[in-house]
C-alpha cells in the first residue's frame, strides 16, 4: 500500500464511470452476457486469474462485493480476502477449507464460544479432533502436536478473558511442525495488527463489528496467503457462503471512517480504563498495566487498542454485579460490539464455553464493556454512579 492506511481508506474505490464517490450496489443472481462466447471468455479469465473478479453466476459475487474484497486485501496486506455473510461464517470457512476427517486442530482455550462449539462438538462427529492450549503457557500447545495436527487456531486477545499471546512463538512452533495457522483478529482489525504479514496463513475479522461500525450489518472476512488460497477458494465456491451486495456496500462505506472511529474508541477506552483501574475489587482485562504479561504481548504486536474490554469483578453476591450492570444508563445491553454506542454485558459462565484454563473463582464475575464514541467523561460518570452497588 503506497499511501498511508488513513489516506487509502478515503481515496479508494471511487466510481468515475457513474461519477460516484462510493461504488453503486450491484444486485444480481444471473450475470448476463451478450453471447455464449462471452461466457466462455469470462470463465477462461477466471481460471487464469482466480482473484480477478470474473464471475459467471451471482453466488460468486458482483462488482460491489469484489470492490470490498480488493479494499480488504490491501488493508490486510494479504494475497486475497474472501467475504462471508457473518463473522462466524469466516471462522467456518477457514476451518472447513483445510481440515478433513482424521485431522486434528489445536485451538486457544479462550476462543469465541461458537468457535469452541464448532470445533469441540460438531467437528468431532466428522472425526476431526480438537484440543485446547493455555494462551499463557505455550508448552501446552507443543504437547498437543502430533502427525495428525493440521491447524492451530488462535484468537487474540481471548474472547471475554482478553488473554494476549506471544504470536511469533506460536508461528515458530507451527512452522517448525509444518502446521497451518489461523487467527481471529476481530478485536484489533488490520488497523492495529496485520496477521498475514506477521506470518499467519489465515486471518479472520468479523465485519459486523468495527468494519461496519454502525451495528446494522453482518459480515465476515477471511484474509489468506498464497499457500492456502487454492483450498479456501475451492471451499468458498462450494459452500455458498456469500456476502450480499447491500451489506458489502455498507461495510465499504463504514471502512471510510475505520481509522477515525478506532482512534476515538482507543482514546475513550484508555480514559475509562484509567478510571476503572483505581478500584481494588475490579481486575481490568485490558492492556493498560505496563508490567503485566498481557501488556507486553499487546505492545509487542499491536499498534493500538480497540474499545472492547473486560472486568473481572470480585463480589460475593452476584446480584450486586447484576445491579451494577442494570443501573448503567449510557451503556446498551446486547451482544456484538464495534458500533458507535457503548455496550455492557454480564458474562455468565455458560457463555464463555467449557474452558480449561479460565481462572475464575466463585466470587469472581465477568462483565464485558464496549466503549463507544460518546464523551468519555459521561461514560465515566455513568460507571461511577453504578459501581456503588458493588459491595
Q: Which CATH number fits domain 258-387: 3.30.413.10, 3.90.1150.10, 3.90.1010.10, 3.30.420.40?
A: 3.90.1150.10
Return phi, psi of residue 326, to 5°.
-70, -20
pLDDT digits (tens), the chain, 391 positions? 557 888 888 888 777 666 777 888 889 889 999 999 999 999 999 899 989 888 888 888 898 999 999 999 999 999 999 999 999 999 999 999 999 999 999 999 999 999 999 999 999 999 999 999 999 999 999 999 999 999 999 999 999 999 999 999 999 999 999 999 999 999 999 999 999 999 999 999 999 999 999 999 999 999 999 999 999 999 999 999 999 999 999 999 999 999 999 999 999 999 999 999 999 999 999 998 888 999 999 999 999 999 999 999 999 899 999 999 999 999 999 989 999 999 999 987 767 767 888 878 889 999 999 999 999 999 999 999 999 999 7
In 3D, which of 100, 106, 333, 136 has the Cα closest to residue 234?
100
Q: Report yes or no: 320 and 389 within 8 Å, Cβ to Cβ.
A: yes
Given its phi and psi angles, is residue 336 left (phi above 0), alpha (psi -120 to 50 degrees) or beta? left
Q: Show the beta-strand stretches assigned E in 259-325.
A: 282-285, 308-314
pTM here?
A: 0.94
The whole-number pLDDT of residue 12 equals 82
Q: Which three cell numbers mark 183?
A: 487467527
Name the residue ranges covered by the structural domains of the chain: 258-387
Annotate 162-195 with b (16+ C-beta within 10 A) or e (fewer). bbbbbbeebbebbeeeebbbbbbbbbbbbbbbbb
Residue 4's pLDDT is what?
Answer: 87
Query: For residues 8 and 14, what is the distance between their CA atoms, to the nearest angstrom?
Result: 11
Of 10, 92, 22, residue with least CA distance to 250: 22
pLDDT at position 40 is 94
How many angstroms separate the CA atoms of 360 and 354, rounded?
A: 13
Amino acid at each position: 500500500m503506497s499511501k498511508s492506511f488513513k489516506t487509502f481508506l478515503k481515496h479508494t474505490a471511487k466510481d468515475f464511470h457513474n461519477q460516484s464517490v462510493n461504488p453503486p450496489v450491484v444486485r444480481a443472481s444471473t450475470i448476463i452476457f451478450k453471447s455464449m462466447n462471452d461466457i466462455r471468455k469470462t470463465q477462461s479469465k477466471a481460471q487464469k486469474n482466480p482473484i480477478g473478479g470474473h464471475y459467471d453466476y451471482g453466488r460468486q459475487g458482483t462488482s460491489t462485493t469484489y470492490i470490498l474484497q480488493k479494499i480488504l486485501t490491501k488493508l490486510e496486506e494479504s494475497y486475497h480476502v474472501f467475504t462471508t455473510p457473518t463473522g462466524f461464517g469466516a471462522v467456518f470457512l477457514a476451518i472447513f477449507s483445510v481440515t478433513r476427517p482424521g485431522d486434528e486442530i489445536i485451538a486457544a482455550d479462550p476462543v469465541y464460544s461458537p468457535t469452541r462449539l464448532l470445533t469441540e462438538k460438531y467437528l468431532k462427529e466428522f472425526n476431526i479432533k480438537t484440543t485446547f492450549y493455555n494462551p499463557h503457557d505455550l508448552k501446552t500447545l507443543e504437547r498437543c502436536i502430533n502427525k495428525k495436527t493440521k491447524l492451530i487456531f488462535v484468537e487474540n486477545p481471548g474472547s471475554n478473558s482478553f488473554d494476549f499471546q506471544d504470536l511469533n512463538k506460536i508461528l515458530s512452533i507451527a512452522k517448525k511442525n509444518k502446521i497451518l495457522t489461523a487467527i481471529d483478529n476481530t478485536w484489533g482489525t488490520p488497523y492495529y495488527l496485520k496477521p498475514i504479514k506477521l506470518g499467519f496463513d489465515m486471518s479472520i475479522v468479523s465485519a459486523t463489528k468495527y468494519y461496519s461500525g454502525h451495528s446494522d450489518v453482518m459480515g465476515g472476512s477471511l484474509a489468506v496467503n498464497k499457500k492456502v488460497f487454492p483450498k479456501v477458494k475451492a471451499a468458498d465456491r462450494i459452500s455458498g457462503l456469500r456476502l450480499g451486495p447491500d451489506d458489502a456496500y455498507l461495510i465499504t462505506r463504514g471502512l471510510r471512517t475505520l481509522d477515525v472511529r478506532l482512534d476515538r474508541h482507543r482514546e475513550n477506552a484508555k480514559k475509562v480504563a484509567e478510571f476503572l483501574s483505581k478500584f481494588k475489587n475490579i481486575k481490568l482485562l485490558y492492556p493498560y498495566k505496563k508490567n503485566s504479561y498481557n501488556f507486553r504481548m499487546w505492545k509487542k504486536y499491536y499498534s493500538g487498542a480497540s474499545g472492547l474490554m473486560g472486568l473481572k469483578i470480585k463480589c460475593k453476591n452476584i446480584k450486586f454485579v447484576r445491579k451494577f450492570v442494570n443501573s448503567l444508563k449510557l451503556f446498551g445491553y446486547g451482544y456484538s460490539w464495534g458500533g458507535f454506542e457503548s455496550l455492557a454485558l454480564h458474562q455468565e459462565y455458560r457463555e464463555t464455553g467449557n474452558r480449561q484454563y479460565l481462572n475464575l473463582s466463585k466470587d469472581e464475575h465477568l462483565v464485558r464493556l464496549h466503549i463507544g464514541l460518546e464523551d468519555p467523561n459521561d461514560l465515566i460518570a455513568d460507571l461511577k454512579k453504578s459501581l456503588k452497588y458493588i459491595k
